[in-house]
Amino acid sequence: MPVNEHRKRLAASARRQQILDAATALFIARGFEAVSMADLAQAIQVSRPAVYSYFPTTEAVLQTLLDERLQQLWTHLERLLPHNLDPHDRSSRGVYAALFGFLLGERESLLLLHSGGGPSFQARRTAFLTQLGERLEAQYPHIRRRPFQMVLITQLLDSLAHHAVQNDVQDVAALARTLDAFVRGGIEALSSEWERETEFSLTS
């Protein structure tokens, strides 16, 4: 297929972004492991050497994408948390529905994070969810009481948002309310159990 003359004249920054955009679409559609540098070159109608002049491997493309996407995601999330979540509301009502809605709004980044199963993907997903959990714990100290509680919450948010996006769930509002009630109910139950255990240890 002949190379488009207009694309040959793209500035370096525009060409780099073109490669990243094509990679995002291909990684999500096919899965990261099924995409080669030749596929990227074909997608934007350039030679393989042209792609290699920007990125040495598909792994390098992926790392760049994840770095940029996660940085943007955190910028957006930082705007959400301080304004929409009340740190004095111990019930955390609406917090998890808001976070779920936020993840759904980051559809492309979410799908990209789930577009492969290798160690790199696992590490980046774990790091993101750990950071999210730490931020929630900082605002809601009472949810630190039980080991693995935040791991359960963040994993549930991530997996359910990915399920909703991948399967095009229509009534996401109902799903968000159910998730919020489910998580808050679990936190309240664990908190009550913790208080009973603490009271028992003090009186025994």
In a domain, 57, yes or no: no
Number of domains composing the chain: 2
pTM of the model: 0.78
Q: Are residues 33 and 69 in the same domain?
A: no
Map tokens 């909703």 to a residue: 164
The domain in which residue 164 lies consists of 63-203
Q: Are residues 97 and 184 in the same domain?
A: yes
Among positive and negative, which fits the CA dihedral 162, 165, 171, 173?
positive
In a domain, 188, yes or no: yes
In a domain, 42, yes or no: yes
Q: Tens place of pLDDT for every residue, the chain, 204 residues?
A: 444 444 456 899 999 999 999 999 999 999 999 999 999 999 999 999 999 999 999 999 999 999 999 998 888 887 776 545 454 454 456 888 888 999 999 999 999 999 988 888 888 888 999 988 888 777 766 666 666 888 888 999 999 999 999 999 999 999 999 999 998 888 778 777 766 666 656 566
Q: Both tokens of residue 28?
A: 């999500």
- Our separate counts of H helices and E strands in the chain read 10, 0
Rounded to whole angstroms, the Cα distance separating 180 from 128 reads 20
Q: Are residues 88 and 56 in contact, defined by beta-carbon separation less than 8 angstroms?
A: no
